[in-house]
């Protein structure tokens, strides 16, 4: 519904503004709703807590634009778009990255990436070969962890490299074995 | 009777602000207030608090009747003042702690969690009743004040927590602490420190 969606967007924009000023742990729902111009109980009609709101923002801004690209031979372009999306709101994601604990930024990002990979793999199965013996869930988790790890390290590093460079880096690691890396390295 | 009705109001308010703070934290997680449940919780809390106060007062009066020493009155008032100072310090300490609550939606305030909350403050309510007994307070004044203030503070706590979150609990604890200290100061000045 358009009315409900606009309230979600209002809460999201309000939350983003507050994250630029204080740690997420210290932000209250009253502050989010006051800035969004709604009464406090409205928040709970849309989100369980502020961590669910953060997850919603990540899905809306970062995951939704790339979800149709994953699994259609455009995964690298999708990854570059993901990095660009984070870079576009560098301040917000740098601060959100500091969120630790049970609802850490890391765990939310991992969950979101896992979900989009699962959708891409949904309904498919391997009838033979090594994939037939592997758990697809574990495989999805492996790729999701590697993507989120490189994204989070990039944020921690101050986003010094460009999104294109980061994707090249990721693709190199993804496409080469450790032995290949050792061969490349000089003694 | 040592205390006048204003001091009973202050003691009742101090105790009730404790309950207010706890229920505001619970209500801060609600998407909607269930009014019948709120009324039940208010009555449950009022019954619990008056029961605990009655028990404390009973033992205070009992101990007072057994103490036949010549300066017993002075010692009892000093103990009562000390109990209120302890209550005041406790609430000021809770205000200082300022622990942030996790604002996660819950569908209702469970009766069991209310009972656990009340259980956590029962000892302090009994101690307060004990002090009130030492000061020869009349049941017909004390119990209705405690019951009424508890009901009012539960309802106010529900609404305040729902609309504003748990932000006011620090102020409530601080105010409760001050009220207890004011009552203890009044007792000390009037009946203990003055020869």
CATH of A49-184, one of 1.10.10.10, 3.40.50.150, 3.40.190.10, 1.10.357.10: 1.10.357.10
Over 70: is that where the pLDDT of B50 sits?
Answer: yes
Residue of A39, A44, A48, A103 best to disrupt the B interface, most CBs of B under 10 A:
A44
Q: Which domain holds residue B184?
A: 5-98+110-190
Residue in the structure block whose two tokens are 């994250």: A19
User: Closest residue of A to B28, CA-based?
Assistant: A41
Tens of pLDDT, residues A94-124:
999 999 998 999 999 999 999 999 888 877 7
Nearest-CA distance from A91 to chain B in Å? 25
Interface of A with B in 131-170 (CB under 8 A): none
Q: Which residue of B has its CA nearest to A43?
A: B31
**Contact between B100 and A50 (Cβ < 8 Å):** no
A101–chain B Cβ distance below 8 A for any pair: no
Domain annotation covers residue B103: no
Using CB atoms within 10 Å of the CB of residue A8, give its burial: 0 to 12 exposed, 13 to 18 middle, 19+ buried.
Answer: middle
- For chain B, what is the domain count? 1
Query: Who contacts B158 (Cβ-Cβ below 8 Å, separation ≥6)?
Result: B23, B24, B27, B33, B38, B41, B109
Taking the Cβ of residue A28 and every Cβ of chain B, the question of whether any pair is shorter than 8 Å is answered with: yes
B181 class by beta-carbon count within 10 Å (0-12 exposed, 13-18 middle, 19+ buried): buried
CATH class name, domain A1-47: mainly alpha
Chain B residues in contact with A44 (beta carbon < 8 A):
29-31, 105
In a domain, B13, yes or no: yes
pLDDT at A55 over 70: yes
A67 confidence band (pLDDT: 50, 70, 90): confident
pLDDT beyond 80 at B193: no
Higher pLDDT among residues B152 and B191, named by residue: B152
Chain A residues closer than 8 Å to B105 by CB: 44, 47-49
Determine the Cα–Cα distance for residues A184 and A72; give it in Å rounded to an integer. 31
pLDDT value at position A3? Answer: 56
Residue B61 resides in a domain = yes
Is residue B147 scored above 60 in pLDDT?
yes
As a whole number, mean pLDDT of residues A2-19 equals 87
List chain A domain ranges.
1-47, 49-184
Q: Are residues A45 and B31, on separate chains, in Cβ contact within 8 Å? A: yes
pTM (predicted TM-score): 0.87
pLDDT, chain B, mean? 91
Q: Quick one: what percent of chain A has pLDDT higher than 90?
A: 67
Q: Where does the pLDDT of residue B136 fall: very low under 50, low under 70, confident under 90, or very high at 90 and above? A: confident
Would residue B195 count as lying in a domain? no
The answer as to whether B142 is a domain residue is yes
């Amino acid at each position: 519904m358009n009315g409900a969606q606009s309230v979600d967007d209002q809460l999201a924009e309000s939350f983003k503004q507050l994250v630029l000023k204080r740690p997420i742990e210290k932000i209250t729902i009253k502050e989010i709703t006051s800035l969004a111009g709604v009464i406090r109980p409205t928040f709970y009609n849309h989100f369980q807590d502020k961590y669910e709101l953060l997850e919603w923002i990540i899905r809306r801004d970062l995951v939704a634009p790339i979800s149709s690209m994953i699994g259609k031979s455009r995964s690298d372009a999708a990854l570059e778009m993901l990095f660009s999306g984070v870079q576009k709101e560098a301040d917000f994601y740098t601060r959100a990255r500091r969120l630790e604990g049970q609802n850490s930024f890391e765990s939310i990002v991992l969950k979101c990436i896992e979900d989009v990979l699962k959708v891409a793999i949904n309904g498919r199965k391997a009838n033979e070969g090594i994939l037939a013996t592997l758990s697809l869930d574990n495989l999805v988790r492996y790729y999701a962890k590697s993507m989120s790890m490189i994204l989070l390290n990039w944020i921690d590093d101050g986003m010094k490299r460009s999104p294109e460079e980061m994707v090249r880096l990721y693709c190199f690691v993804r496409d080469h074995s450790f032995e290949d890396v050792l061969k490349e390295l000089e003694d | 009777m040592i205390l006048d009705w204003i001091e009973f109001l202050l003691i009742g308010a101090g105790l009730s602000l404790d309950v207010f703070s706890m229920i505001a934290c619970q209500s801060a997680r609600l998407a909607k207030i269930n009014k019948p449940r709120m009324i039940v919780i208010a009555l449950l809390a009022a019954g619990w608090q008056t029961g605990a106060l009655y028990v404390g007062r009973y033992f205070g009066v009992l101990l007072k009747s057994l103490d036949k020493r010549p300066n017993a009155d002075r010692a009892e008032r000093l103990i009562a003042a000390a109990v209120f100072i302890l209550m005041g310090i406790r609430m000021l300490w809770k205000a200082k702690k300022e622990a942030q609550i996790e604002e996660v939606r819950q569908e209702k305030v469970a009766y069991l969690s209310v009972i656990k909350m009340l259980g956590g403050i029962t000892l302090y309510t009994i101690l307060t009743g004990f002090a009130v007994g030492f000061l020869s307070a009349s049941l017909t004044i004390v119990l209705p004040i405690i019951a009424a203030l508890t009901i009012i503070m539960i309802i106010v706590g529900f609404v305040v927590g729902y609309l504003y979150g748990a932000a006011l609990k620090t102020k409530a604890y601080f105010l409760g602490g001050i009220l207890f200290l004011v009552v203890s100061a009044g007792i000390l000045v009037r009946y203990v420190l003055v020869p």
